[in-house]
Structure 1
Amino acid sequence: MIQNISLGYQKVLSYLNGGGTRNVKAKKNILSSIFIKGASILMSLAMVPLTIEYVNPSRYGIWLTLSSIVGWFAFFDIGLTQGLRNKFAEAIAVGDAKQAKVYVSTTYAALVLIFFVVWVLFLITNSFLDWTEILKVDASMTSELSVLVIIVFTYFCLQFILKTVTSILTADQQPAKASFIELVGQFMALLSIYLLVATTEGSLINLGLALCISPILVLVLANYVLFNKKYKAYKPSISNIDFKHAKSLFQLGGKFFIIQIAAIVQYESANIIIARNFSTTDVTAFNIVYRYFGILNMAFAIFLTPFWSASTEAFMKNDLQWIKSSVKKYNYLNLILVLVGLVMLFFAQDIYNLWLGEGTLEIDFKLSLWGLIFFSIFLFGNTYVSFLNGISALRIQFWSSIISPFLYILVAIYLINELNLGVFALFVAALIANINGAILAPLQYYMIVVKNKKGFWLK
């Protein structure tokens, strides 16, 4: 038996170390990510009922809606971390450590300046905002919500600066390590919520502190350790901040900036639209479905994440065959996940009851059905979008991203107010607005990789 185990172990090692350097990195990261993301999914699932138990479904909906509103401010990073991911990968690919350090230093400096100004302006503005009116909740919660929004906003600002280190890890084709950092932060937050449930009464302020402080402390530690060990050569410094020299970083970041706005509007505005047209309990129902079928996306991301930066390297070396082979494999994986999703849909309500507790929340089957349809099409387009992001072919995505947020909101409002559709209208609107992922990105990939076209398609 021991001999069989040893033989099996040797076969696994042989598989992991087989192929080129790019494939070896990808396989090792995928294997590590399976365990890390698996643990992350379990923690995410455990977090929801625990949090609802602590503050009840309605107040949990308030938390989700408030987080979504604050999440809109994510666009102030103007795509810098995504731009850094590509530029850092390119610099490392050609062995230019000095250029890579300039990109890292400049990105950190820009993010600190931007988010400090945004944070100060928000503190001033917050005193004039009535969050009970914005969220359509009881006026007695005025002071509680005012404090909570400051906690959440401060967390978002710090997170966007400190998470730059995870972009560097991903650019270096080590997404598993980036995911591990997030996992540790998630575990600390879960532990904090568990302690709150055991020792205190339900409080949105306590919830905000528990969910915000733990991940920040983990990110601070990660920055300190990585920049004093593995990435010491790229440790940010004032002397290496050079906005002029990093002009290309900001140009690329500007394109990602617009694309990020589109994504934020689509994802974050959903909770706000639901809260204002239905109820905060419906916000919770929508997010339960989103998290449930989002498991498919999390599973797909385990395999897809290395593809972005690996595409950067492969395309620079004109290894189109590797790209074609990879896309084909991702499409097969996408089909398998859709079949898994159909099984998930069949048992959806039973799992909701098991997950949240019998009778906690009744979720319309149509909401679950459209959640599955949305994620199935989203996963298909994600493969092509990831490749195009990796080679910085963003112009088509850039222009479609300018249109899609307006299309999404208009369609959602029309479906709700004119056709009287339920909460699932948000998934339908997202599908209609997803022009780039469903149609344009696959077409652009085909023209670049299969037809070997350049010019318009590569910009």
Structure 2
Amino acid sequence: MLTRIASPLKFVQQFINQGQSRSIKAKKNIITSFLIKGVSISISLVLVPLTINYINPSRYGIWLTLSSIVGWFSFFDIGLTHGLRNKYAEAKANNDDSSVQMYISTTYAVLTIIFVSLWLIFLIINGFLDWASILKVPQDMKHEVSLLAMIVFTYFCAQFILRVVTTIAIADQQSAKSAMIDVLGQIISLIVIVVLVKTTKGSLINLGLALCLSPLLALISANILFFKGKYEKYRPKFSKINFSYAKGLFNLGLTFFIIQIAAVIQFESANIIIARNFGTSEVTSYNIVYKYFGMVTMLFTIFLTPFWSASTEAYAQRDFSWIKSSMKKYNLLNVLLFAVSLLMLVFSNYIYSLWLGKGKVDIGFWLSFWGFVYVSFTIFGSKYVNFLNGISALRLQFWTSIFSPVIYIAVAVLLIKYFKAGVASLFIASIIANLYGIIMAPIQYYQIIVKNKKGIWTK
């Protein structure tokens, strides 16, 4: 019996330890991340019905919509964390620990200045905002929603500074550690919400505090542990803040910044558009579908995350054969996940009822269908975009990102107002607006790696 158990374990160990060092590192992180994400998905599946039952679908839609509005402020990061990710990988590859520490210290300093300033401005103007009118909810909820907005915005600003540590872990090809931080926050949130369900009546404020404070506790703990352990030599210090290094972060980050704006508009405006055209209950339906098929995206992301920084290293060393081999494996994984997504679509109504409870949320087949199509296209393009981000070949993506938000909103409004396509309009609009990832990014990858072209393709 022990021999039979040992044989598969030995096979797994041999599989992990075969190949180049970056491949071995990636496989170890993928396997660990897979286990961690399994826990994350399980917690997410439990949290959604738990929070809906704690309040109700309409109030849950308010929470989602408000979170989306606050999420718009993410572009004030100006792409710094993405810039740090590439600069960290480059400096680390050159064994330049001093530059690594300066980039990290400067990133913390710049983000603190930006987001503390934003928080103080929001603190002043929040009292003048009529959130009841903005979200189209009853006026007697005005004070409650205003307080919730302050809680969410405070969380948002704090976590954006504290999450630099997760960027460092990912840049160091330690994506499993980043995932563990997020899961720890989810576990704390789940425990707190279970206690709230058992001891209190449904409250948006309690829900907001539970979902905001828990991740912050996990991030604070991670920052302390990381910089007292393996990353102690990179610990941010006031003496290591060098704003001349910010120029390098800004130069690369500015391109990511424009790309991020496009992403923020597309992903965060959906809930607002739905709330204003169909009501907050439909925000819940849309997000259920998004989360449901998003589990496939999450699964693919586990495998894809190490590829960014590994691509930076491989491309710098002109190791094209490793890049081609990796892309082939990702394509095979795409085919497998497409089949999984198709099965999820076929059984979606049954799983919704099992997951949320029969009759809790009404979700039509066509909303699920377009959610399936959207996720399939997103997964296909993401591996090419991830590679291009890793080698900083951003110009084509930059220019398409300028136009994609306009296309997204125009198509969404057209489908809603004139074609009466309903909530599914947001998925369709996202597909059309993301033609760079679906068409241009694969072509760009082919020109760089297969044809060995430079010029516009590598800029």
Bucket of the pairwise TM-score, normalised by the shorter protein: over 0.9
Amino acid of the residue matched to residue 44 of structure 1?
Answer: S
Quote the residue 1:272 is aligned against: 272
Quote the residue 1:53 is aligned against: 53
Quote the residue 2:262 is aligned against: 262
Where does structure 2 lack aligned partners over 5 or more consecutive residues?
none
Query: For the Cα contact (< 8 Å) 1:189–1:211, is it kept in 2?
Result: yes
What secondary structure does 1:181 align onto? helix
Quote the residue 1:10 is aligned against: 10
The alpha-carbon deviation at position 439 of structure 1 amounts to 1.1
The alpha-carbon deviation at position 307 of structure 1 amounts to 0.4
Q: Provide the identity percentage.
A: 60
Quote the residue 1:183 is aligned against: 183
Amino acid of the residue matched to residue 160 of structure 1?
Answer: F
Quote the residue 1:429 is aligned against: 429
What secondary structure does 2:236 align onto? coil
CA distance in 2, matches of 1:73, 1:172: 27
Deviations 1:309-345 (A, max 9, x none): 1000000000011111111111111111111111000
What secondary structure does 2:245 align onto? coil
Query: For the Cα contact (< 8 Å) 2:345–2:369, is it kept in 1?
Result: yes
Query: For the Cα contact (< 8 Å) 1:307–1:386, is it kept in 2?
Result: yes
Amino acid of the residue matched to residue 302 of structure 1?
Answer: I
Deviating 4+ runs (over 2 angstroms): none
CA distance in 2, matches of 1:8, 1:334: 26
Quote the residue 1:135 is aligned against: 135
Quote the residue 1:306 is aligned against: 306
Quote the residue 1:451 is aligned against: 451
Quote the residue 1:282 is aligned against: 282
Query: For the Cα contact (< 8 Å) 2:33–2:179, is it kept in 1?
Result: yes
The alpha-carbon deviation at position 249 of structure 1 amounts to 1.3
CA distance in 1, matches of 2:324, 2:28: 21
Quote the residue 2:101 is aligned against: 101
The alpha-carbon deviation at position 456 of structure 1 amounts to 1.3
Amino acid of the residue matched to residue 445 of structure 1?
Answer: Y
Quote the residue 1:338 is aligned against: 338
Quote the residue 1:232 is aligned against: 232
Query: For the Cα contact (< 8 Å) 1:186–1:215, is it kept in 2?
Result: yes
Deviations 1:323-378 (A, max 9, x none): 11111111111111111111000110110001110111110100000000000000
Deviations 1:189-243 (A, max 9, x none): 1111111101000000000000000110110010011011110111011111111
Quote the residue 1:172 is aligned against: 172
CA distance in 1, matches of 2:15, 2:51: 42
Quote the residue 1:384 is aligned against: 384
The alpha-carbon deviation at position 19 of structure 1 amounts to 1.1
CA distance in 2, matches of 1:177, 1:97: 21
CA distance in 2, matches of 1:240, 1:394: 29
Quote the residue 2:125 is aligned against: 125
Query: For the Cα contact (< 8 Å) 2:338–2:376, is it kept in 1?
Result: yes
Query: For the Cα contact (< 8 Å) 2:40–2:186, is it kept in 1?
Result: yes
CA distance in 1, matches of 2:44, 2:175: 19
Quote the residue 1:250 is aligned against: 250
Quote the residue 1:30 is aligned against: 30
What secondary structure does 1:245 align onto? helix
Amino acid of the residue matched to residue 70 of structure 1?
Answer: V
The alpha-carbon deviation at position 7 of structure 1 amounts to 2.6
What secondary structure does 1:69 align onto? helix
Amino acid of the residue matched to residue 279 of structure 1?
Answer: G
The alpha-carbon deviation at position 436 of structure 1 amounts to 1.1
CA distance in 2, matches of 1:9, 1:335: 27
Where does structure 1 lack aligned partners over 5 or more consecutive residues?
none
Quote the residue 1:356 is aligned against: 356
Amino acid of the residue matched to residue 355 of structure 1?
Answer: W
CA distance in 1, matches of 2:254, 2:216: 26
CA distance in 2, matches of 1:159, 1:450: 40
The alpha-carbon deviation at position 11 of structure 1 amounts to 2.0
Query: For the Cα contact (< 8 Å) 2:106–2:245, is it kept in 1?
Result: no
The alpha-carbon deviation at position 8 of structure 1 amounts to 2.4
Query: For the Cα contact (< 8 Å) 1:102–1:246, is it kept in 2?
Result: no
What secondary structure does 1:88 align onto? helix
What secondary structure does 2:178 align onto? helix
CA distance in 2, matches of 1:35, 1:271: 31
Which is further off, 264-273 or 245-254? Answer: 245-254
CA distance in 1, matches of 2:10, 2:338: 33
Query: For the Cα contact (< 8 Å) 1:16–1:27, is it kept in 2?
Result: yes
The alpha-carbon deviation at position 34 of structure 1 amounts to 1.0
Query: For the Cα contact (< 8 Å) 2:411–2:429, is it kept in 1?
Result: yes
CA distance in 1, matches of 2:69, 2:238: 33
Q: CA RMSD in A?
A: 0.7
The alpha-carbon deviation at position 116 of structure 1 amounts to 0.6
Amino acid of the residue matched to residue 285 of structure 1?
Answer: S
Quote the residue 2:62 is aligned against: 62
